[in-house]
Structure 1
Amino acid sequence: MRTDMQGLFSDPALERHFTGHSGGITQLRFSPDGSQIATSSTDSSVILWNLKQAARCIRFASHTGAVNGVAWSPKGNLIASAGHDRTVKIWEPKVRGVSGEFVAHSKPVRSVDFDPTGHQLLTASDDKSAKLWRVARRQFIASFAQQCNWVRSAKFSPNGKLVATVSDDKSLRIYDVGSGECVRTFTEERAAPRQVAWHPWGNMVAVALGCNRIKIFDVSASQLLQLYVVHSAPVNDVAFHPGGHFLLSGSDDHTIRILDLLEGRPIYTLTGHTDAINAVAFTKDGAQFATAGNDRQLLVWQSNLHTYDASQFETKAALASSGCDTSTASSSKQSNVSDAKSNDLSIRIDPRQSLAYQTLDEDFQVVDVSLESASETCSCEAQLEEMSEMLKLLDERVRRLEGIYTL
């Protein structure tokens, strides 16, 4: 049987297994270079996990309540965290770093997101608004406030020109950053959306819904493209693979699903978590993804999606259903999950018998860093970076003018 399986694509495989938070993990983000993961938690802290050197991780604890979201700046030199204490913290991700903070909203802050330049920050809050800020001075720029209830999440589009918000008023709204106007509105009748993700091409968004569904919308055409009913409980987070052909989702049903968007079907069901999964994310190159949730576990996986071949899926699913081990990672148990209602033939990956799961990464030191606010230092560094970018733009314009004058 092993001979018959030669040449089949590789399945996702668990690579690392971390625990360290004392409360549920609310969000996770990979650093731009993929070497670190930042996780936020209900235990009022953010932990920075170093995937290259497991000997030391950093716990940043200066929020006075649950931390609802976290984000890396594009260059990886800053991290922002959103707190139930109404504040946003901006800090350097190192032991001897500096930090700054500001009260961003009148109610808990649910999410933070940097724009592609790293100069602007987007926040979403229970005060029914999303706000745009200048990072260097923590200066308010604009508000997106057409929502009638809590704003669960707000995200910049890949080019930074649009903002997507999802709210407990059961809406998905698209705003134009330049004008501040709401240019698209999508409403959901069944349940409120919990999270939103932009497709890497910038023309589509995926929404995780409280009614167990996932929807993908075409923003420019204002239409629903795909609907997936692959979870048996509310969906909490979604993430597109950087290549744009796969979607990762996490749910209250304790499972992670991987969807093949070109074929329009689920291809993997991943287990291993023992409670609701709140956060999922891919690395920038898509080689890895991570999942985390209320069970306080952080699981880091090899995606192996670069090997996926849709033409082989049914063959591999059939082998999985017959009890054969089709994975190159032989330590992962697999079985086929077939649901009569949804005709779900996805391959099930259960890493709990794998060496990576049983070898829990506990041989690391978590360094507690209680950074005193050094807002002037942080602000000056951010201002210098912004001034440097402006000088580069001015230099480019001068060169263009010189070229025109020469002609």
Structure 2
Amino acid sequence: MLNEELFTEPCLERHFSGHCSSITQVRFSPCGQRLSTSSLDLSVILWDLKQAARCIRFSAHSGAVYSVCWSPKSNLVASASKDRTVKIWEPKIRGVSGEFLAHSKAVRSVDFDPSGTMLITASDDKTLKLWKVAQRKFLTSFTGHNNWVRAAKFSPNGQLIASCGDDKSLRIFDVTSGECVRTFTEERGMGRQIAWHPDGNLVAVALSCNRVKIFDIAEGELIQLYQVHSAPVNDLAFHPNGNFLLTGGDDDTIRLLDLLEGRPIYTLTGHTDKVCAVAFSPDGQHFASAGEDRQLLVWKSNLHTFDANSFRSKQASFQKENSVSSLAAAPHNSVVDTDSKNCDDTILIDPRHSVAYKMRDENFQVLDSQYTTAKQQSVSSFTKSLQQQHETLVNAAICTCASTQTSNEDYLQLELNALQTQLAEIVITLRKLEQRIICIENVVLENI
């Protein structure tokens, strides 16, 4: 008989919305009290899990934001964007930000090393770059990929970097030597995201061919393979104890895998579109998911209560056993190939009728940050002045339109539209000029 006190399913705890477009990544802060999300809407939002009213939006990128990460001390946030820059933020309303032009093309990924002193970035220019955080100084490049690099992450000890991309390869680089020490080639799918096992010996990769693969770095072998999604897998995360893996895919679902038994155990719905990002909290008590439906869901994992025997008992009552049960034991050195069509006996969890799902938007608001940089103040003040002039001219034109005769309205509307277009172009030009000035100043500072 199942002991309910020892076995509790994951459940939805919080439901947030605040982005205007797809969420590309979600990360818990190392302290576990905050969440960060990046989005195609050009912004990063920091969500306070303790005080839901204190959520902060950073909106300084001029392109889609693909990646966001926390420093180990939770005192900095880094974001990577299509605008080719990496920005480093103080996670508060009135904070200081820094930035650097990181690559010649879109930056897809950014990650702090365990010491918080270095950053690794990955880009559509096919390279990885290592940076010194405090000085925002370029250190070295890692090459070998021959197509877009989608993700790059430090190992738990900071000595290795794993990367994957559209060239269908997973590469392991030595931070000190800069050499590629392992290469795993995938024939069927491109790498979407990677995750290091907590012990630092295994790397999991999410693939566009609907698969998840786990490799042993020391032995250079594939040890587990899962095909639990019916569409490309976008993100994945190991539980801190290393026994579970969380995945999110284009089939709008989240899957939770038991790695010790080599089988999927839960299918979680709740998102109405592709799941692009998943993450575990540092203590493993919670996990988060987000995606193209612009929603951020925070779940209580309850995995500390998980018991394989209890799960099988509950699974039997949920649905009859099928062929997946043959995967009950997965030796460390074997390949587990789990077909998505055989995942029907996982326990399905749908929170869309729960109180937590329906209570979104009621207990928080998103506040825009007022960040500053010493380099940007003079140019930004001029840009702000121009924008104020823009608003004044537009308002004046609107007033003029309102006071003219009907016969002149069409003509004035055309003039107003032309004026708005010209002023918008000037603002864009000044923003580009601002970026160039910052780049020139960075070069000058490096040469001093």
Number of the residue aligned with 2:85: 87
* Cross-structure match for 1:316: 314
- 3-state DSSP of counterpart to 2:288: strand
Residues 101 and 373 in structure 1, CA contact (< 8 A), matched pair in contact too: no
| Offset at residue 344 of structure 1 (A) | 4.2
Q: 1:343 to 1:37 in 2, by over 3 A?
A: closer
Specify whether residues 88 and 197 from structure 1 end up closer, same or farther in structure 2 by C-alpha distance, changes over 3 A only: same
Question: Which amino acid is 2:264 matched to?
Answer: P
Counterpart in the other structure of 2:31:
33
Show the 5 A alignment for 1:48-197.
48-197=46-195
- Normalized against structure 1, the TM-score is what? 0.86
Are the counterparts in 1 of residues 107 and 124 from structure 2 also a CA contact under 8 Å? yes
Cα offsets for 1:182-218 (capped at 9, x unmatched): 0000000001110000000000000000000000000
- Separation in 1 of the partners of 2:364 and 2:75? 23
The Cα shift of 1:359 comes to 1.1
- Distance (Å, rounded) in 1 between the aligned partners of 2:190 and 2:43: 27
CA distance in 1, matches of 2:217, 2:339: 32
**1:364 alignment partner in structure 2:** 364
Letter in 1 for 2:141: S
User: Shift in Å at residue 358 of structure 1?
Assistant: 1.0
**Counterpart in the other structure of 1:265:** 263
Partners in 2 of 1:361 and 1:341 — Cα distance?
36
Q: Secondary structure at the match of 2:352?
A: helix
Native 8 Å contact 2:30 2:282 kept in 1: yes
Identical aligned pairs, as a percentage? 66
The structure where helix makes up a greater share of residues is 2
Aligned residues: 360
CA distance in 1, matches of 2:98, 2:340: 53
CA shift for structure 1 position 132? 0.4
Partner AA of 1:86 in structure 2: R
Q: Say which one has the larger Rg.
A: 2
The 1:99/1:308 distance shift into structure 2, 3 A limit, reads: same
Let me know the Cα RMSD of the aligned residues.
Answer: 1.7
- Which 4+ residue blocks in structure 1 deviate beyond 3 angstroms? 3-8, 338-341, 374-377
Q: What TM-score comes out, normalization by structure 2 length? A: 0.78
Who is 1:227 aligned against? 225
Tell me, yes or no, if the aligned pair for 1:280 and 1:289 is still in contact at 8 Å.
yes
What letter corresponds to residue 359 of structure 2 in structure 1?
A: T
SS in 1 for 2:309: helix
Checking the alignment, whether the CA contact within 8 Å between 1:153 and 1:194 is kept in structure 2 is yes
Residue 375 (structure 1) shift: 6.3
Distance in 1 (alpha carbons) for counterparts of 2:5 and 2:97: 51
**Structure 1: stretches of 5+ with no match in the other structure:** 323-337, 378-407
Matched-pair contact (CA < 8 Å) for 1:19–1:362: no
Q: Which amino acid aligns with 1:288?
A: H
Match of 2:284 among 283, 286, 290: 286
CA shift digits 1:73-115 (9 cap, x unpaired):
0000000000100000001000111000000000000010000
Q: Matches of 1:6 and 1:304 in 2, distance apart?
A: 12
SS of alignment partner, residue 85 of structure 1: coil
* C-alpha deviation, 1:361, in angstroms: 3.4
Q: Which amino acid aligns with 1:18?
A: F
Judge conservation of contact 1:26–1:278 (CA < 8 Å) in 2.
yes
In 1, Cα distance between equivalents of 2:276 and 2:222: 24
Larger % of strand: which?
1
